[in-house]
Structure 1
């Protein structure tokens, strides 16, 4: 039987900072973060993303510097996303399998620099198509699921060949995890992980990301026929189960904060590592509130990141990763 008041006063353990730290049920560290980075053409080039305050597109040489900073801060992995030039885009997204595309060049450069950081690469066609979709389109603008799988498999092998440690298919085509796993095994990349965007919703929170990779203004129609309905939860469990069965080493829920209930349900149902993506719209919303003085920057950032881990995440992809890691290092020095 649990004693009641006044024998039990829960405020006792909250009375001092040392006690609050000692009784913390969820502890956040830099190892719980993955830092998304946007790649651009050029050298020593950086360009602010207008809809994402504090986030920039970086040329490959600066991507290497960012990866080195991530490693120094204890962030275990960076996630790479290319801003492909318009001239390199096509209806079939053929630039995705070019061994000298932005993604491959950035991965190679990080590897050649000897930086001890994991490289996570996005597998989907939207950064490479002129229509902004994640897969191939028919003449009447339907997504060609099965035809897309072959291209995604070639894209994944291309990325693995040039240094990717974690292949992260974000396309939401049915069957793509199994096809990619088979292709990686056939090419000898048996140790390359797959982190599947297993429950990726057709969300309003992706807008700034699409601006960052240059696909937003190109999108023909919407992605509701392959990304998930925000109203559905049981379907997310089915998607996760399928991806695990096909060979995913870990799974992701995207977006993050509006879908913490999905994170918790996936965590309680499946014995696999669960990740969440604190997506561009979530980040932009918080940053704009911070810049306006409405939300305390450090407290707000850390509270939300802690919420992800409390819900069951193994780690979080977040544009706050570097700032949060810096803040944690400052606290440790204190």
Structure 2
């Protein structure tokens, strides 16, 4: 009873009401996207993103920021974690060890390309590792994590914001364009899942792009993405050793990756009631749709386009480099 009372007190507090309003707004956008998806057969994730972006001005003028932040971050992580129940080890066996090793190679190559481009663009190696790591691993989340282990500088926050803005814009565009590109190039569903998971920066956009193709492609794409996320501690340690970083960021595995793998194992053992699994899968889908809606509501396209074009060009080159390498692997090796 004491815990319930504490939750009610939080909801009555100003921040609690703002949190609730933001989550409710994301839920309304998600519900609208779900209705339109069922009515017209369009991808629900894409609709949630587009409706959210169209309503950014409304969200910006209201006191919804805490709730939208909660929906786009915490609900996203829970949605991804619960997707582990939908991952079949038979699906994973379709990929084999080749793509796993390919993901490692893609991450290392993108990091190296980031360092090289930083010299060509007149920036320090630290900026190259920051940009390359954000493209190679998981976008804005990786940028924040890598910043935490870089040596402290006055312009570090500005660099981090620039990279976060750039990869967010590119990841959003990739979510919309990549499924169309891969379909036009006649990649199979398994190849499409690998390419989406191996090339799009943020987890939310990977889930959105994958599910815009099919539920199976979405689950497999997120698994490939989790392979990239799992390399984050290794990259952080490498950056810290290479630059003597004095940051205070955490270097452990993200909790949602651990839960994702644990639930995948439970699902494989088939010990959970089928009804419970079905409800959790539905909850996972709802969390992801709300997270995508919140992401759209928080996205200011005008602000994204105001960043330094030279460094956006650097992030674009890194993104295209990663895409070309991944497609080259699939064309040469196949899945």
TM class by smaller structure = under 0.3
Between Structure 1 and Structure 2, the one with more helix by share is 2
Between Structure 1 and Structure 2, the one with more strand by share is 1
When normalised by structure 2's length, the TM-score is 0.27
When normalised by structure 1's length, the TM-score is 0.27
